[in-house]
């Protein structure tokens, strides 16, 4: 469903989390930059585009001229209205008092998310049952002009309006007034409007910071007082303090000083810390790995000769590009579309002298062997019908953990890693996306051993191509069938550990942590083959689309790709093996990561 999210700028951090929660829908929210008429035209265009209007209710949003106008237009257009309460001290407008709202004022809870998603689902069902002769929703052009025009600022009193908003703590409104004044050419002989705007924006940023800190802090404070959740809350508090070191209104740091110190130093009994790395009790420390190979001189072309071949992972004729420069120590092959940039794919073979190929170690990269076997998949046909298919798989290795922040950072830091445009050359769509997105997205959460999120399918594929070359292995994303085989083994279980859900074995919405956890944490949540974190923590990208699960994936297309396993935001039902989504390959969220397979024969 296409959703328009309306919010006050002070609530933007929380808005972004809620948008991530709605990752199965097409969501849009504006950046609240107030750039003038062009921006308002985009608002109107998106209100025309949307099918549902998600109104994030806070004292600032219900008093915002723009949020009010957006809401009014959405009503007049007949869009479905989905109110979401995000701050407790909000007086609901009269027009919303009779509507049932989702309550996320105490965080993104399973109950609140369920209410919101159920409301959206029920509306979708009603739309499908709409009679053919029933009139469709209206467009903005059908609404009288005065009702769709942009709210105007009184330039003669704009400074007074902004000052009054500042005094009342309505910094979002003050920024709005001042930006609109600047956009309309307002100047003052004595008042520095730029300095005034800067002060308002700094106050707004601090207010937003405090609101977001308090929302997270209150959840941790509630949990830390309960014996059953204290350990989780203490870990969460340590992470919270990294971002908000000075925010502790309940003095939790003093009240639980000894326990926090013990946990920080690894003396809690369930874990230990070695050179800053969290390692579960009883785990083997990995052997030291050699450092990264030196970068190739940028002045030399990477490939100097080619011969036609057929790429077994795609369609159409490809070229095998051979690096035969003197001094490279090996002949490395790569695949590239005819006429396109070269790229080392996951099935790249090392032609000669593989013993001399550079071996760069990835921290925490361990493999679990999955024996040959079969899985039962629900495959969606092109016409929409869903058919059960039994798919037989040869043995393969899958990474024990999702790709971590530390592992992905090596890819970003390597001069021949993320910056090498060739890794996206396997597909015209991937190449086009990369050319328009030269900078990687930053991870939402901190900590080397957490799963890396904010990566889309294109990023994940590029990592696999880089890792194949770097490690001299055949690294790929798992297919949906491989992922399911590693998850459930031979007995058709619903969860990696069995058929009954247990929130102590995984990081799902039932734990209410609202963040990822370290990948080694849930020792009791392993799959039959010892694979961690297949339920919860982050959704994981698969190689294929819903209708390719029983056949070879076409990696050159722009079809939606499967994600599986659920995340820290997902209720338990979505972490079951039978549940999967498919998303645009360009999508990225704080709740989606990936793991890899080694298909080297």
Domain residue extents for the chain: 2-148, 157-264, 305-356, 367-598
* Least confident segment among 52-66, 260-274, 462-476: 260-274
DSSP H or E segment with residue 478: none
Q: Mean pLDDT across the stretch 153-182?
A: 81
pLDDT class for 293, splitting at 50, 70, 90?
A: very low
Residues belonging to the chain = 601
pLDDT recorded at residue 395: 95
pLDDT recorded at residue 24: 77
Q: What's the CA gap between 11 and 5, in Å, rounded?
A: 12
* Least confident segment among 94-103, 294-303, 541-550, 577-586: 294-303
Per CATH, which fold does 367-598 belong to? 3.90.1580
384-418 pLDDT, tens digit per residue, is 677 888 999 999 999 999 999 999 999 999 999 99
**Higher confidence at residue 129 or residue 266?**
129
**Higher confidence at residue 155 or residue 358?**
155
pLDDT recorded at residue 531: 97
227-250 pLDDT, tens digit per residue, is 888 888 898 898 888 878 778 888
pLDDT recorded at residue 84: 93
Is the pLDDT score of 536 beyond 80? Answer: yes
Instruction: Name the pTM for this structure.
Output: 0.48
Q: Mean pLDDT across the stretch 5-10?
A: 90
Q: In CATH, which of 3.20.20.70, 3.30.930.10, 3.40.50.10140, 3.20.20.140 is domain 2-148?
A: 3.40.50.10140
DSSP-derived pairing of the beta strands 396-399 and 367-370? antiparallel
**Higher confidence at residue 225 or residue 320?**
225
Given a contact cutoff of 8 angstroms between Cβ atoms, the answer to whether 347 and 382 are in contact is no
pLDDT recorded at residue 598: 95
Compute and round to an integer the Cα radius of gyration of the chain.
26
Answer whether 2-148 and 367-598 agree in fold. Answer: no
SS3 (DSSP) at 367:
strand
**Higher confidence at residue 306 or residue 562?**
562
* Burial group, residue 406, by CB count within 10 angstroms (0-12, 13-18, 19+): middle
Nearest by Cα to 529 from 392, 373, 377, 364: 373
pLDDT class for 111, splitting at 50, 70, 90?
A: confident
Q: How far apart, in Å, do the first and last CA atoms of the chain sit?
A: 43
């Amino acid at each position: 469903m296409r959703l328009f999210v309306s919010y006050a700028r002070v609530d933007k951090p929380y808005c972004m989390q809620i948008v991530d929660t709605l990752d199965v829908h097409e969501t849009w929210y504006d950046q609240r930059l107030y750039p003038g008429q062009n921006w308002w035209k985009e608002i109107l265009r998106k209100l025309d585009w949307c099918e549902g209007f998600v109104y994030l209710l806070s004292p600032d949003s219900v008093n915002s001229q723009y949020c009010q106008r957006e809401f009014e237009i959405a009503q007049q257009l007949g869009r479905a209205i989905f109110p979401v309460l995000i701050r407790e001290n909000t007086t609901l407008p009269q027009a919303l008092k009779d509507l049932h709202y989702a309550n996320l004022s105490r965080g993104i809870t399973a109950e609140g998310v369920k209410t919101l998603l159920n409301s959206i689902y029920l509306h979708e069902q009603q739309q499908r049952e709409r009679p053919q002769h029933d009139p469709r929703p209206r467009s903005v052009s059908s609404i009288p002009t005065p009702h769709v025009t942009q709210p105007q600022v009184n330039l003669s009193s704009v400074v007074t309006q902004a000052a009054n908003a500042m005094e009342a703590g309505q910094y979002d409104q003050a920024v709005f007034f001042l930006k609109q004044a600047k956009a309309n050419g307002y100047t003052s002989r004595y008042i520095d409007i730029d300095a005034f705007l800067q002060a308002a924006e700094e106050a707004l940023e601090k207010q937003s910071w405090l609101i977001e800190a308090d929302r997270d802090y209150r959840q941790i404070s509630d949990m830390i007082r309960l014996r059953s959740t204290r350990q989780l809350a203490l870990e969460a508090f340590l992470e919270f303090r990294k971002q908000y070191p000075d925010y502790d209104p309940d003095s939790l740091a003093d009240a639980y000083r000894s326990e926090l110190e013990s946990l920080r130093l690894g003396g809690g009994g369930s874990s230990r810390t070695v050179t800053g790395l969290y390692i579960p009790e009883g785990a083997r420390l990995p052997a030291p790995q050699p450092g990264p190979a030196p970068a190739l001189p940028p002045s030399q072309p990477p490939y100097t000769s080619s011969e036609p071949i057929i790429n077994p992972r795609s369609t159409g004729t490809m070229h095998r590009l051979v690096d035969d420069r003197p001094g490279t120590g090996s002949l490395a092959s790569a695949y590239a579309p005819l006429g396109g940039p070269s790229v080392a794919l996951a099935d790249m073979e090392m032609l000669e002298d593989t013993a001399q190929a550079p071996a760069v170690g990835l921290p925490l990269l361990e493999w679990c062997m999955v024996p040959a076997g079969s899985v039962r998949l629900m495959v969606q046909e092109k016409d929409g019908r869903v058919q059960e298919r039994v798919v037989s798989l040869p043995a393969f290795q899958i990474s024990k953990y999702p790709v971590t922040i530390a592992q992905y950072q090596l890819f970003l830091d390597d001069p021949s890693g993320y910056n090498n445009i060739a890794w996206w050359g396997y597909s015209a769509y991937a190449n086009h996306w990369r050319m328009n997105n030269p900078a990687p997205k930053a991870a939402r959460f901190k900590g080397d051993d957490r799963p890396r999120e904010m990566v889309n399918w294109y990023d994940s594929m590029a990592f696999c191509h880089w890792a194949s070359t770097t490690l001299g292995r055949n690294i790929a994303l798992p297919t949906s069938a491989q992922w399911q085989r590693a998850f459930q083994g031979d007995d058709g279980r619903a969860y990696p550990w069995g058929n009954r859900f247990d929130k102590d074995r995984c990081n799902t919405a039932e734990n209410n942590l609202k963040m990822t956890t370290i990948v080694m944490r849930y020792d009791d949540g392993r799959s039959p083959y010892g694979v961690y974190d297949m339920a919860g923590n982050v959704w994981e990208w698969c190689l294929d689309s819903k209708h390719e699960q029983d056949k070879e994936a076409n990696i050159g297309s722009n079809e939606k790709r499967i994600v599986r396993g659920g995340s820290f935001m997902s209720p338990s039902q979505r972490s079951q093996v039978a549940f999967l989504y498919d998303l645009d390959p360009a999508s990225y969220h704080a709740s989606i990561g990936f793991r890899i397979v080694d298909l080297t024969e």
